[in-house]
Amino acid sequence: MNPASTPLTRRDFIRVGSLAGGGFVLSLALPGALGQPAGALDDTARIFTPSPFIKITPEGIITILAKNPETGQGVKTSLPMIVAEELDADFSTIVIEQAGLRDDVGAQFAGGSRSTPDNYLLLRRAGATARAMLIAAAAQTWNVRTGELTTENGRVIHTASGRSLSYGELATTAATLPIPDERNVRLKDESEFRVLGSRVGGVDNPAIVTGAALFGIDQRLPGMVYAAYEKCPVFGGRVIRANLEEIKALPGVLDAFIIEGTTDITGLLPGVAIVADSTWSAFSAKAKLRVEWDERAAAGHSSAAYAAQAADLARGRGAQLRHDGDVDAAFASAAKTVEADYFYPFLNHATLEPQGCTAWAKDGGIEFWTTSQTPGPGRDLVANTFNLPKEKLKLNLVRAGGGFGRRLRNDYMVEVAAIALRVNAPVKLTWTREDDMRHCFFRPAGFHHLRGAVDASGRLSAWHNHFVTFGYHSTQSPAPSAGMSPDELPARFIPNYRLEQSLISTIVPTGPLRAPGSNGLAFVMQGFIDELAHAAGRDPVEFRLELLGEDRLVPPTGGRGVPYDTGRMKGVIRLAAEKSGWGQPLPKGEGRGVAFHFSHQGYVAMVARVAVSPAGVLQVKHVTVATDVGPIINLSGAENQIQGSVIDGLSMAWFQEITYERGRTVQSNFHDYPLLRLGDAPEIGVHFLQSDNPPTGLGEPGYPVVPPAICNAIFAACGKRIRSLPITKNDLRWS
Amino acid sequence: MAAYQLVVNGVARTVEAQPDTPLLWILRDTLNLPGTKYGCGRGLCGSCTIHFNGAPLRSCMLPVAAAEGAAITTIEGLSPGGLNPLQEAWCEHDVPQCGYCQAGQIMTAAALLRDRPDPTDAEIDEALAGNLCRCGTHVRIRAAVKAAALRLQQEASA
């Protein structure tokens, strides 16, 4: 039994297909054909399988493999759309099958907004190769030249004779043909696209809205048992003893045991496992667990201690990461200078589906049903931790209730594996929300002591940043996602620039959160640029356009990384300004703020319009986002990603902060780590500047601009400059 | 352990459970109705929303012992004959990203539309204030509720 690969999503209910053309395409899935396991079809010679990505049966069922993990970023829909485009098939009739981890489809991960750029050409070629073979099969059938044949919506057409055959009718013949070199197969001209750029609803939507078993937490296997896992609240702490006998006597509890674990903070951490006959039995037993932990690591690790250390460090000099021009001379001759301390806090990803995993140890290996964003490294981690051969580990990739970078780490996989290896049954591990809030690879906080100068002509002339960040048990190298590129804006765009860095040693595990690095840095850079624009008496949009300068490609320092295309950035800034009514008068207490940021190859600008009441109540009224990520794959999904980035960015900027006391996370659930409620959501205008650059991803680049655009708008509305997040910590009252 | 008589989606079910077991886990683990989701366990996120005698309720906060005798509806039983207008609108507006919260959103919205067939924006915002969406599909949720309300009104006046 394999719940993940069973096409539950398409079977037994009406399927909602393409939204293209405003239509609402309903088609009834064919029960018998789809109900069969994929593996049983593969070996049949009648089936056309020119690559792992495409399967066409003589009955006309076209199946496209969705290769990457789906976490809500939409790749289960958008990547198959790329195949369908070149295959020239009607997307609404195609069956989408989620791939497990395999070795013949290229890298399978959900991170870095890489799914689109890494797979665009690969998947186009897969579709085009299949189409070429179907054309060849038709040419052979009719004894005509391939040049006389065209395709449309899953049929090969011979216009001269008026004949046509469906892909299904051609499948068995096509299956006998040699597979051509995909590099020689003609790809469509973009003007011929019918699927790409259209609005297509998520392929799992019908399953989502009817509550079908779909997510990691929904996996169910015969004889399955349920597990919870308690780890030391102090990061890195070990178990000394626990009341295991008492726990084992509780109703429904099958087993309770200590897992020694490893010292790898991203791996199997020490803790106490509870195995029970239901999730609730495991959770309620966990609440009665009494563990004596070794908490020696906790001393001195609190948010207050970190802030005090940061203040001390910022007063001194840090390690110099970059120095251009003569910063001190520029400050000496400046017309205006500004000095400010910026801060952004630690954050948790808070995926709505908590971490967890299902596993079944049998036959010397383990089968997983995992929501990992990095299943390959997850498999490696399990293999290395338990000394198991990789080929004995099978990974089914299951839809995740949100990722945002949390599931780039695979701690839940080694935890469930440790339990599964002891339990002679399939086991589902579910974290409580409290586990999830406390044990994370947190977005690291950052402190920036800034000085900036504008010259007599009102241009940004010098910038000094002493960046105080964190090292994991280190004051020498930044912790994961805690570093800063010496190319970060405005480096490379002003003559006099200095970046210094100091590190606070921490025990807090850190890691990537949506647009890592950028998600904090954009707030600082775009906020301080705004301060300097106002100091210079300049319009914030004009000041930014001037900073970017002429349209050109600005290379990365040392040639590593991607160049910065100022023309593309200026294009989205101008578009956002135009669409937002930048410069038009607003009532007292309202203001607009602008920000731009380049990350993950995406150029994004945002204008926010907010109102702040004299009592200090913030209302975000409207947000305009302009984005250039090249051509759009799925317009509906792309807009959804930007809209979601805005809401996510608002939650982050407005409310969210993780703090630590005595080496442990203070926050525990959504009452003290809020998400934006429906009534606080602004109207959002989404605009794509679809340049002819190669298409790139959209999961991340829309997120970093949100906090600075909102905070700059708050300043415009009421004169209160937000230099420390979240906004709720600031007093916005004015008169 | 004790036996409890439940009526879930119109079907009488007898379940064996500890009396303090939240209905959420009875639905998910015992009755194999996984559409109702665990998000917080403390009535904070709305992912576990069901209808309890027609009213939206957080099933993570309701002990199974208190659920006896009530008419319980889950997302699986919301519209057994096909998609209801809310579910259709959710698909038409392509609301979901990860989709994890959406069953709870739809259940809350369904209760709202039953009581207020023509809700104002403020009423929609208020009714759904306790349903969190981590992916930020807020503007689409609003649009889909309005579209479903319009469709229901058209059906009612037809």
For A589-617, how does the pLDDT look when each residue is reduced to its tens digit (9 = 90+)?
999 999 999 999 999 999 999 999 999 99
CATH of B2-77, one of 3.40.50.920, 1.10.3720.10, 3.10.20.30, 1.10.10.10: 3.10.20.30
pLDDT at position B157 over 90:
no
SS3 B89: helix
Query: Residue A292's closest CA among A243, A249, A255?
Result: A243
**Is any Cβ of chain A less than 8 angstroms from the Cβ of B13?**
no
Q: A303-347+442-729 is classed in which CATH architecture?
A: 2-Layer Sandwich (3.30)
Q: Comparing C-alpha atoms, which of A90, A434, A514 is closest to residue B98?
A: A514
**A2 has pLDDT over 50:** no
Beta bridge partners of A337: A453
Amino acid at A703: Y
pLDDT value at residue A731: 98
Domain A15-210 in this protein, CATH class:
alpha beta
C-beta separation of A633 from A197 below 8 A:
yes
In whole angstroms, give the CA distance from residue B18 to residue B65: 8
Q: What's the burial of A248, exposed, middle or buried (CB within 10 Å: 0-12/13-18/19+)?
A: middle
Amino acid letter, A366: I
pLDDT band of A33, cuts 50, 70, 90: very low
pLDDT tens digits, B43-83: 999 999 999 999 999 999 999 999 999 999 999 999 998 89
Positive or negative, the CA dihedral A286, A221, A396, A13 is negative
pLDDT computed for residue A8 by the predictor = 31
Contact criterion met (CB below 8 Å) for A594 and A582: yes
Higher pLDDT, A605 or A13: A605
Contact B96 A205 (CB under 8 A): yes
* Nearest residue of A to residue B123, measured between CA atoms: A679
Q: Outline where chain B has alpha helix (H).
A: 23-25, 85-92, 102-115, 121-127, 138-157
User: For residues A452 and A651, what is the distance between their CA atoms, to the nearest angstrom?
Assistant: 29
Report the first-to-last Cα separation within chain B, whole angstroms: 52
Q: What is the pLDDT at residue B156?
A: 86
The average confidence (pLDDT) of chain B is 97
The arithmetic mean of pLDDT across residues A108-113, rounded, is: 94
Task: Note whether A402 contacts B: Cβ–Cβ < 8 A.
Answer: yes
Report the residue from A19, A208, A280 with minimal CB separation from B102: A208
pLDDT score at A12: 31
Alpha carbon distance A562, A598 (integer Å) = 11
**What is the CATH architecture assignment of A216-296+355-430?**
2-Layer Sandwich (3.30)
Grade residue A44 by pLDDT with cuts at 50, 70 and 90: low
The pLDDT value given to residue A30: 33
Q: Above 50 in pLDDT, residue A20?
A: no
Residue linked to tokens 């000496």: A332
Residue A229, strand partner residues: A273
Length of chain A equals 735
Q: Averaged over A621-634, what is the pLDDT?
A: 98
pLDDT band at A6 (very low <50, low <70, confident <90, very high): very low
Q: Cβ(A99)–Cβ(A46) under 8 Å?
A: no
| Percentage of chain B exceeding pLDDT 70 | 100
A303-347+442-729 and A216-296+355-430 share a CATH fold: yes
User: What separation in angstroms does the CA of A631 have from each of A87, A195, A577, A696?
Assistant: 19, 12, 21, 8
Report phi then psi at A370, rounded to 5. Answer: -125, 150
pLDDT, tens digit (0-9, with 9 covering 90-100), for A648-689: 999 999 999 999 999 999 999 999 999 999 999 999 999 999
Best CA proximity match to A402, nearest among A673, A648, A700, A71: A71
Upper half-sphere CA count for residue A546 (Cβ side, 13 Å): 17
How many angstroms separate the first and last alpha carbons of chain A?
67
CB-CB under 8 Å, B37 with A217: yes
The model's pLDDT over A529-577, given as tens digits with 9 standing for 90+, comes to 999 999 999 999 999 999 999 999 999 998 778 899 999 999 999 999 9
Which of chain A's residues have a Cβ under 8 Å away from the Cβ of B34? 211-213, 215, 217-218, 220
CB contact under 8 A, B22 and A72: no
Mean pLDDT of A510-534: 98
Measured in whole angstroms, the distance separating CA A429 from the mean position of its chain's CA atoms is: 23
Instruction: Find, in chain B, the residue whose alpha carbon is nearest to that of A276.
Output: B29
Q: What is the rounded CA–CA span in Å between residue B34 and residue A600?
A: 36
Quote the tokens at residue A638: 């792309």
- The count of C-alpha atoms lying within 13 angstroms of the C-alpha of A25, restricted to the half-sphere facing its C-beta, is 18
Nearest to A681 among B74, B135, B138 (CB): B138
Q: Show the tokens assigned to B26.
A: 């009875």
In this prediction, residue A281 has a pLDDT band, given cuts at 50, 70 and 90, of very high
Kindly state the average pLDDT of the residues A406-412. 98
**Residues of B with CB below 8 A from A351's CB?**
98, 100, 134
Q: What percent of chain A has pLDDT over 90?
A: 92
Query: With an 8 Å Cβ cutoff, is A23 touching chain B?
Result: no
pLDDT tens column, B89-101: 999 999 999 999 9
Closest alpha carbon to A382 in A369, A393, A397: A393
Cβ contacts of A252 on chain B, cutoff 8 Å: 18
Give the closest-approach CA distance of A259 to chain B in angstroms: 26
Predicted-complex ipTM score:
0.98
DSSP A89-110: --GGGPEEEE--S-SSSS----
pLDDT at position A26 is 30
Q: Does A521 touch chain B (CB under 8 A)?
A: no
> Tell me, what's the pLDDT at A9?
35
B103 contacts: CB under 8 Å, gap ≥ 6 = A208, A209, A211, B35, B36, B37, B47, B49, B75
Closest among A637, A635, A649 to A514, alpha carbons compared: A649
CB A622 within 8 A of CB A608: yes
CA distance B100 to B112: 20
| Domain residue ranges in chain B | 2-77, 85-157
Taking CB atoms and an 8 Å cutoff, what residues of chain B touch A670? 39-40, 42, 44-45, 132
CATH fold for the domain made of B85-157 = DNA polymerase; domain 1 (1.10.150)
* CA neighbours closer than 13 Å in the CB half-sphere of residue B64: 28
A15 — pLDDT class (breaks 50, 70, 90): very low
* Residue carrying the six token digits 């994004």: A604
Q: CA distances (Å), B102 to each of A9, A562, A604, B64, in order? A: 16, 38, 28, 24
R_g of chain B computed on alpha carbons: 16
Closest to B27 in 3D by CA, of B70, B84, B79, B87: B70
Banded pLDDT at A385 (limits 50, 70, 90): very high
Interface test with A, best of B18, B32, B40 (most A CBs within 10 A): B40
Predicted local confidence at residue A123, as pLDDT: 97
Q: How many CB atoms lie within 10 A of CB A441?
A: 23
Render pLDDT for A142-195 as a digit per residue (tens, 0 to 9).
999 999 999 999 999 999 999 999 999 999 999 999 999 988 899 999 999 999
CA dihedral for A483, A485, A486, A490, sign (positive or negative)? negative
Touching A: B residues 82-141, CB under 8 Å: 82-83, 86-88, 90-92, 94-103, 106, 122, 124-126, 128-141
Q: Do B85-157 and B2-77 have the same topology in CATH?
A: no
Q: How far is B157 from chain A (nearest CA, A)?
A: 23
0.90 exceeded by the pTM?
Answer: yes
